[in-house]
Amino acid sequence: MREVYAKSVLNKHKRRDSWFLDDYSINPYTGCQYNCVYCYIHGSRYGRGGELAVKVNSPNVLEKQLSRAERLGERGFILISSATEAWQPAEERYEVTRRCLEVIKRHRFPVHCLTKSPLILRDLDILEEIDKRAILPGDLRNSVGRGVLITFSLSTLDPEISRIFEPGAPSPLERLKAMRRVKDVGFKAGVAYIPVLPFISDTEEELEKMIGAAKEFGADYVFVGALTLYGFGKELYYRVLERCFPEHLPKYGRLYLRRGEPELGYRRKLETISRRICAEKKVKYRIA
C-alpha cells in the first residue's frame, strides 16, 4: 500500500445522483484490496495499473474543502466509497476513513456509506453522532429524514460465485449480518445489488432470493443495477467468464454488442422485475 498526498478528496457533482442521493463523494484510497472483477474502475484510466494507495492527508484536505462548502451553504450527502472500498483491510491500520468521518461530523454534513465491509461496524460511534447532527438539504428532510445512510453492496448470494468475482471481499453472508447489526442499533440501511451478473445472478429466481434475503436481514431499501463493462475492465471480466462460465460468452457478446451497458430492453426488464418483487415483498425500491 503506497502512501500518497492528495490535493483534493471531496468531489462535487454537477447534479445529485438520483439513486444514492449524493452531491459529493470521497475516496480515501486508490485501488482496492477486494479486487472485484466487475468493478467499473478497471475500465477507467485509474484502473489498469492496479495500484493500491492511501491518501494519508485526506482528513486535513477534507477539513479545508468542507469548511469552504459550509461557508458557501453548499450542503449535501457525501457518498463514501464511490470508486473504491473505504473500509478495506488497510483501513484497520491507517484509519483514514474514520478520521474523515470525524471531520464530516464537525461540519455536520450527511453521509451515505457504500461498503462491502463489516469493518464499518467499528465506526458506528461516529456515524451515530453524524446521524443526529447532520444538516440535510431542505428537499431531502422529509423523504430521507436521516443524516446517515449505510448501504451494503452485493452481486450474488452464492459464496462460490462471490469468490470468483469478488475474490478479496467478505462473503455475502458476512455483509448481510453486518447490515443486520447496523439496523439493530438504529441506522437506516439497505442493500445495493449492483451489479447483478447477467445469466448468473440476474434471473427472476435469483432476484427473488436476493431481495428476500435483504428483507430477512432488515433492509430499509433495495437497489438493483446492471453490470457495465468498459475498456480493460471488459477484457478482464471476459477472461474470468471464459474460464468459469464459457457457456455465457456468446450471450454476453450479444447483450453488450459494441456497448458498455447491456441493451436497453434488458435494463428495463431488470428494473420492472426488481420493482415487482420489492412490491410483493414489501421492501422499498431505492431510497427516495
Work out the angle between the directed axes of helices 264-281 and 204-216 (0-180°, nearest 10).
40
What the chain holds in terms of domains, given with CATH numbers, is 2-285 (3.20.20.70)
Q: Which of 144-158, 213-227, 248-262 has the lowest mean pLDDT?
A: 248-262
User: In the prediction, which pLDDT does 200 show?
Assistant: 98
Mean pLDDT in residue range 236-243: 96
Taking CA atoms, 270 is separated from 144, 149, 190, 227, in Å, by: 25, 24, 19, 11
User: In the prediction, which pLDDT does 49 show?
Assistant: 52
Q: Report the half-sphere exposure of 256 (CA within 13 A, side-chain side).
A: 21
In angstroms, the CA 274 to CA 266 distance is: 12
User: In the prediction, which pLDDT does 241 show?
Assistant: 97
* pLDDT above 60 for 48: no
User: In the prediction, which pLDDT does 7 show?
Assistant: 96
pLDDT digits (tens, 9 = 90+) for 52-63: 999 999 999 999
In angstroms, the CA 265 to CA 203 distance is: 15
User: In the prediction, which pLDDT does 179 show?
Assistant: 98
* Distance, first Cα to last Cα, the chain: 37
pTM (2 decimals)? 0.95
In angstroms, the CA 108 to CA 275 distance is: 33
- Percent residues over pLDDT 70 in the chain: 97
